[in-house]
Structures are given as C-alpha cells and as structure tokens.
Structure 1
Amino acid sequence: MSPFPAYAVEQATPGFAEWLQKFSAESRRVQASRRCQLDVAFGDAPAERLDIFPADNANAPIVVFLHGGGWRASSKGDRSFPADVFCPAGAVWISMEYPLAPAASVDDMVACLRKGMAWVAANARSFGGDPDRIFVCGNSAGGHLASVMMTTDWTEHGLPADLIKGGTFVSGVFDMIPLMKSGANEWLRLDIDTAVRHSAIYNVPRRGGSIVCAVGADEMPEFVEQSRNFAAVWRFHGHPATFLPCPELHHFSIIAELGRRDSALVRAMFDQIGSR
C-alpha cells in the first residue's frame, strides 16, 4: 500500500514539478519549430480550443491528446512535444483543451471534449487528417477523459458509433468511485451517479476498438490496478486490449516516453494507429 493518500500523485512523486517544466519547455520548442495551428476554436467558450500539428503526409491518422493535471491544472500547450515523434511518422497530433475544476464539473469537461471530437471529425480533411482514423490518448485525468470519449455512444450525437478507432490511456482512471473518498473530490464534487456515468469501466460499449492501458511500474498502486483492471474488463467484453506496465517509470516520467520514438509506449501507439 502507498504511504500517501489515494491518488495524491504529487505528494508521492518527488521532483514532479521539474518534469512538468520540462514538458512545457519542450512543447514551446516544438510549437516554434514545427508547422502548426494553435488555439483553433471548436466553440465559443474560452476552453474550446485545440492545437493542430499536421503530419508530413496527407490523409493521416489523427491522435487527439488530452492533458493531465488532476482535472484542475495544466493545459493543452504543455503537451505539444510528442508532435516531433508522431508527425514525422505520418500522424496528425492534436492537443485539445477542456475546462478545469473547480469552476467546471466533470459533466462540463466531457461535454466540451465531445464537442471537440465532433469538430475534429467534421474538419479532418482541412488539416490533412483522415476522419475514419481518429484515435484518442491522454495521461492521468486526461487518460480518464480519453476513456470516456472512447466509451461514448456517438450515435446519440449523430455520429458513427466507431468515431474513435482506438485509445491509449497513460496512467488513467477508469473507475471514479474511489475518488469520491479522495482529496480530489474537493474539486470534482462527484456523487455516485456522476462517478458511474463517467467511469469507462462501467460503460464498455458493445462495439469497441483497441485500447492500450499504459502505467509506470513505479506509480502508486491505485493507478496500476486501475489500468490492469480496465484492460481486463475491456478484453472480457471481446475487445482488443493491452496492459502495458512500463518499468522504472512513475506518474510523470512516463509522459516523457511519448517523446521517444523507440519507447514501448510509442511503439504500442504506432501499432494501434498504423504508423511507423
């Protein structure tokens, strides 16, 4: 058992701030050096924005990334750095924003991201993307929200059921019920209905694409179990799932693996999206 309160990743990870600073600096470098469209609006609200990094080829698969930050911090601009790996490999990299707690509820975040995903599908051709090859990825809170996108019934929004072909979740949360008893509920304000409704593990669709549940082997045990359990449940429903524990990595260092072409995490994502 962890000596820290459940899901208190910052307390459990000395030096986490240095990792976040590194991701921000690397992302600013990539924004300045790579062809991109920043702060593209997919709605009128301040958070309804995304950054697009086109592939080096046309009709490319699209990876939509959702940042972490405990549902209350960070921003899309801090997750640009993987574009230097994914774009040369033939994929569009999109970093999408969403409103943050405590001003925004989980319902607000999910509604914003669903709107953003619909915009990506409708506008994919305009930035060289293939609307039939949309994938979602996220870390930590973003991993949770990415899994909710993956389990959304898109037909209720007038879109194809298989709008999202696959998802990669890095240190995600798939069962929100335990967070009702954690410090995070001070800003999430979850009740049982909201927790279940936005827990991917309780909402596995009849038709599901492939998923990768990646987690650092040195993370808090709660995150390791969440990833292991969700991959098992997804597989139980007959859908392809990979549980990917990454040795010697923690909740923040694992994010850096998205910027290493030869990492196990990137290789798993390339296999999923069909890039090389």
Structure 2
Amino acid sequence: MLASDPVSRRTVISLLSKMLALASLPSSALATAKTSSKKVYLDYTLDELEVASDPRANLPNWRETFAKLQKLGSDARAANPPTTHSYGEGETGLIDVHAMNVPRGAPALIFFHGGGWQLGSKEDMAFMAPVLNGAGIVYVSPNYPLAPHAPMAQIVAASRDAVIWTYRNADKLGIDREQIFVGGVSAGAHISAYLLALDWSGFGLPKMPLKGGVLLSGAYDLAPIKLLKSRAYLGLTDADVQAFSPIKYVSRMSAPLLVGWADGDTPVSRYQSSQLVKEAKALGIPVQQNIEVGKNHFDFAFALADPSSELSRKITKMIQGSSRH
C-alpha cells in the first residue's frame, strides 16, 4: 500500500508541501506565474513587449539627444519666427505657421510632434522649418491635448480640427489648400496615419483634402500599446484600439505615403511601419519607405534638420512634385 511505501510517502509529503506553498501565495502572484511566459503580441511576452516598445531601452543618452534636438528647434524658431494662431481652446489649441520667404500659394506640411501622446509641443520640431521653407513649403506645427488629461478620442479630434482650421484659413496663410500634406513622428505619426484614413466630407471638406502623408517611427496598431503598464496613462479601451488603430483602415487611405523609421528604432515600431508599407503596397497606394541606418528613435530626427539628407530630400521632392501636377 502507499502508506507502507517510504518512497511514495516522501512523494506525497513533497506534493502536499508544494500545494500548501502555492495556496499561501496571493492570487496576483499565481496569475503572474501563469502568464509571465504567455505570448501577448507577436512572439513577445508582456515583459518583453515593454522593452520592445520602449524607445529609451538601451539608450542611456536619449535625454542628451532629445535636449540637442530641442535646442535645434529653439534656435530655428528664433531665426525663423512663426506666426501663432488659435485653432482650438487654450494652449493645446495653438498652431504655429512658419512661412519665411515662402511665396503665397505654396504647399504646406502640417506636422504633429511626438512624445508618447503625453509630452511635447509644437516647438519641438521647429528645426524642420528652415529646410521646408527653403524648399518653398510652409511648415505648420500644432499643439494638441495630451494624456492623461485627454483621452485618445480627444487627441485625434483636436488634431483633426487643426487640419480643418488650416484648410479653411489657407488663403489667409498663403497656402494652396489643394496641396496640404500631413505628417508626424512617433505619436504624431500615429495621429497623421489616422487622419489619412478619415472621410472628411462630414466636416465640410472634400472626402480627402490631404495630398500625402509623412509617417515617421509611428505606432499604427494600438493593441500592444493597450497592454503596456508604461502606457497605462493613456487609458486605452478595446473600443479605442478598434477606432484609432490606423493599420485597421489602410484600405481607406488613398494619398501617397512616405513611411520612415530608423534601423535602431523599437522592434515594435519597425514591425508596424513595415506592415503599413506592405499593406499600402498591396492596396495600390503609392508608398515610399526610408530607413535611417545607424540611427535610433531619437537621433534619426537630425536628418529632418539637414536639407541634404535623404529623408529631407524625399519629403521635399514628394511635396514639390505633387504641387507641380
């Protein structure tokens, strides 16, 4: 019998000890033990996804790089002061228009800053203005509401309003309203991709008033973002993921795209960017891609301040070429 078998008795005692130990653990610890190895997105566990989605991972000098970019922006803004207008309410409803020495009737790029939908401002990317203005392009840079004070629905609605304001005020701003492009970096690329999939006819504009899009190091599927503890401040719901993930609506896009990222960007951003390119091509949407070699999520932006960089040349060629048609 089992009770008379010393080996079996030891086995029973060991099993009972393990069961008692497990029973003493809090339910959260049990859940963690069960799910820590579970794949939640692509081949990533939740912990791995946190790292694969964090642009600061393995970049100890990211703050220094960001500070250099901010100085570039402030210097450019001082040398090329914009006119500042209100498209919405308060500070988050301000929009800068850089048009130094740009003739009237010029094309425009409305560019949304990054910052994880939580940080940043219209001043951050002002270093793009001299490059674009020098190519005869008006540079428009809006603020928009930020999380956690604003949910995603409010963020994208305000960004939409910035485009509507620019379109309706194009004559006053010296912009050709038939040649308005939209773009952004990181969170701003997500916003821009969303805007490129909208049907604008319900807002008193043509169905697609945007001539093209410049999407750099963006997030185009919010499903993995919703899972991240580091992005809990966004308060994303399943409905938000469905409504505001541009990758779900590529079939609604029609304007030409320039999709860019750095080869040292986050694995998730690289994957989603390449998927956007793949789906756009499959649907016959004109799309270019630009990969900054040897760069990361932050320092690739220096290319946007350099008129001779491949990225800047592709952007200006895309916009100038369209305005000639």
TM-score scaled by structure 1?
0.94
**1:33-182 mapped onto 2 (5 Å cutoff):** 33-38=79-84, 40-54=85-99, 56-182=102-228
1:67 touches 1:75 (CA, 8 Å); kept in 2? Answer: yes
Distance in 1 between residues matched to 2:104 and 2:142, nearest whole Å = 21
Cα 1:101–1:267, aligned 2, differ >3 Å: closer, same or farther?
same
Deviation at 1:19, TM superposition (A): 1.8
| Aligned residue in 2 for 1:236 | 282
1:70 touches 1:184 (CA, 8 Å); kept in 2? Answer: no
Distance in 1 between residues matched to 2:89 and 2:210, nearest whole Å = 24
Cα 1:235–1:158, aligned 2, differ >3 Å: closer, same or farther?
same
Distance in 2 between residues matched to 1:12 and 1:145, nearest whole Å = 26
Distance in 1 between residues matched to 2:252 and 2:77, nearest whole Å = 39
Deviation at 1:190, TM superposition (A): 1.2
Deviation at 1:45, TM superposition (A): 3.6
Deviation at 1:205, TM superposition (A): 4.5
Deviation at 1:35, TM superposition (A): 4.3
* Larger Rg computed on CA atoms: 2
Unmatched 5+ stretches in structure 2: 1-43
Unmatched 5+ stretches in structure 1: none
Deviation at 1:207, TM superposition (A): 5.4
> Is 188-197 or 96-105 further displaced after alignment?
188-197
- Moved beyond 4 Å, runs of 4+: 1-4
Deviation at 1:6, TM superposition (A): 3.2
SS for the counterpart of 1:86 is helix
Q: What CA deviation, in whole Å up to 9, does each residue of 1:202-251 have, x standing for no partner?
A: 11244511111100011121111111000111122221112222111100
Q: What CA deviation, in whole Å up to 9, does each residue of 1:56-114 have, x standing for no partner?
A: 22211100110001110111111111101000110000111101100111101011011
SS for the counterpart of 2:288 is strand
Distance in 1 between residues matched to 2:113 and 2:252, nearest whole Å = 27
The code of the aligned residue for 1:53 comes to H
1:232 touches 1:241 (CA, 8 Å); kept in 2? Answer: no
SS for the counterpart of 1:5 is helix
CA RMSD of aligned residues (A): 1.8
| Aligned residue in 2 for 1:217 | 263
1:68 touches 1:142 (CA, 8 Å); kept in 2? Answer: yes
Q: Percent identity?
A: 28
Q: What CA deviation, in whole Å up to 9, does each residue of 1:134-191 have, x standing for no partner?
A: 1111110111111111111111212111211111111011111111112343111112
1:6 touches 1:182 (CA, 8 Å); kept in 2? Answer: no
TM-score scaled by structure 2?
0.81
Cα 1:5–1:93, aligned 2, differ >3 Å: closer, same or farther?
same
Distance in 1 between residues matched to 2:89 and 2:113, nearest whole Å = 20
Which is helix-richer, 1 or 2? 2
Distance in 2 between residues matched to 1:197 and 1:18, nearest whole Å = 36
State how many pairs are aligned: 275
The code of the aligned residue for 2:86 comes to A
1:47 touches 1:99 (CA, 8 Å); kept in 2? Answer: yes
Q: What CA deviation, in whole Å up to 9, does each residue of 1:30-69 have, x standing for no partner?
A: 222124213x101224311111101522211100110001
Deviation at 1:3, TM superposition (A): 8.8
Q: With CA pairs under 8 Å and 6+ residues apart, which has the higher RCO, 1 or 2?
A: 1
